[in-house]
């Protein structure tokens, strides 16, 4: 089966993009090198094609009560033109997806969901929708470009009359003209850095991408791939669905309890289990680990204590910022204290590691 391509696919080659299969999409893993792209986002600015992300519109008279039932955060607290991080759960507390909710106005919302979950999320929402709620998969109507890094604002500002400094964290604006294109722009991202995510018409994506690269030439902006996006989000301890979150891993276990409001008066899917986990503490939880012995903790490697299996690694790498071999792991609550020494099964050997504080990086 042929892989899906974003509207920006044709320009990857111009920048020596090396593509991989990512959830059925043909996407660039890197353009120069993961380390170089990681560094440029931490110090200057990087440009990412994130058009594979899904967009689902929810609108209608009962949109708010519907989203209060479907999502873990308190949607009633969300103001117009603001975003909210959310999880969508099964009754058993497992995660359907994590997402960002955009409130356009009363009864009109946009959900930005993970690429590998678009169909599943859409079906899940449709399945629970009432007559007075419309759920529409509008993913094909958008391309999405992320400009991330400390210089993201100054570079993007060159292309618009809108005062970008007035769009604060997790706020957005629609109908903004950037490089002569009509866009939705939000101060959001998945790197742990300042920056924007820009939603445009698919036909405008290449022109907008080139304009941003030109505008940031002097500052040293570079195209960045999925590899750097992963190491950047990992250092900032932002979860990736399928690794830190899954059907079997709840938002509380994954450490995103701040997005689970068990005190909101409405019942939501998974509330009973999540409330219990929040009050009693989950049996297992996501922690940071740093290798003591030489080795890298990779996804799905098993974690042991005194010969007993106590969990597994969700993500691990050599942190480009810290220059240390670190990982995130879901382990038994008895062993979560910082400096607890554990062992990671790296191929045929069990290597020592210790529990450390996270995030690994904070700007």
Q: Which residues are annotated as a binding site?
A: 197
Length of the chain in terms of residues written: 363
Three-state secondary structure of the chain? CCCECCCCHHHHHHHCCEEEEECCEEEEEECCCHHHHHHHHHHCCEEEECCCCEEEEEECCCHHHHHHHHECCCHHHCCCCEEEEEEEECCCCCEEEEEEEEEEECCEEEEEECHHHHHHHHHHHHHHCCCCCEEEECHHHCEEEEEECCCHHHHHHCCCCCCHHHCCCCEEEEEEEECCEEEEEECCCCCCCCEEEEEECHHHHHHHHHHHHHHCCCCCCEEECHHHHHHHHHHCCCCCECCCEECCECCCCCCCHHHCCCCCCCCCCCHHHHHHHHHHCCCEEEEEEEECCCCCCCCCCEEEECCEEEEEEEEEEECCCCCCEEEEEEEEHHHCCCCCEEEEEECCEEEEEEEECCCCCCC
CA distance 246 to 98: 9
Sheet holding 181-186, edge to edge: 172-178, 181-186, 195-200, 143-148, 46-49, 222-224
Q: Which residues are annotated as a binding site for substrate?
A: 197
């Amino acid at each position: 089966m042929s892989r899906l391509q974003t509207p920006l696919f044709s320009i990857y080659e111009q920048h020596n993009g090396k593509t991989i299969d990512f959830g059925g999409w043909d996407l660039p893993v890197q353009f120069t090198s993961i380390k170089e792209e990681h560094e440029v986002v931490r110090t200057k600015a990087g440009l990412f094609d994130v058009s594979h992300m899904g967009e689902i519109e929810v609108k209608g008279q009962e949109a708010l009560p519907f989203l209060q039932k479907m999502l873990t955060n308190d949607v009633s607290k969300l103001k117009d033109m603001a975003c909210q991080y959310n999880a969508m759960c099964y009754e058993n507390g497992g995660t359907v997806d994590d997402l960002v909710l955009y409130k356009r106005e009363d009864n009109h919302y946009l959900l930005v969901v993970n690429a590998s979950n678009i169909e599943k999320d859409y079906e899940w929402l449709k399945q629970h929708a009432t007559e007075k709620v419309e759920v529409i998969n509008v993913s094909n109507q958008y391309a999405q470009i992320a400009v991330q890094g400390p210089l993201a604002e100054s570079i993007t500002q060159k292309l618009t009359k809108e005062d970008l400094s007035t769009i604060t964290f997790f706020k957005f604006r629609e109908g903004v003209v950037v490089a002569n294109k009509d866009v939705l722009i939000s101060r959001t991202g998945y790197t742990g850095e300042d920056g924007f995510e820009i939603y445009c018409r698919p036909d405008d994506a290449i022109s907008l991408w080139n304009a941003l690269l030109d505008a940031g030439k002097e500052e040293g902006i570079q195209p960045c791939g999925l590899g750097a996006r992963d190491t950047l989000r990992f250092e900032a301890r932002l979860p990736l669905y399928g690794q830190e979150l899954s059907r079997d891993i709840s938002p509380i276990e994954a450490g995103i309890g701040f997005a689970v409001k068990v005190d909101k008066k409405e019942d939501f899917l998974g509330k009973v289990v999540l409330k219990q986990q929040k009050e009693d503490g989950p049996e297992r939880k996501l922690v940071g680990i740093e290798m003591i012995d030489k080795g890298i903790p990779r996804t799905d490697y098993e974690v042991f204590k005194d010969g007993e299996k106590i969990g597994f690694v969700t993500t691990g790498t050599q942190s480009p910022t810290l220059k240390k071999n670190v990982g995130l792991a879901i382990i038994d609550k008895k062993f979560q204290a910082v400096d607890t020494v554990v062992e990671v099964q790296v191929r045929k050997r069990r290597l020592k590691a210790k529990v450390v504080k996270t995030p690994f990086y904070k700007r």
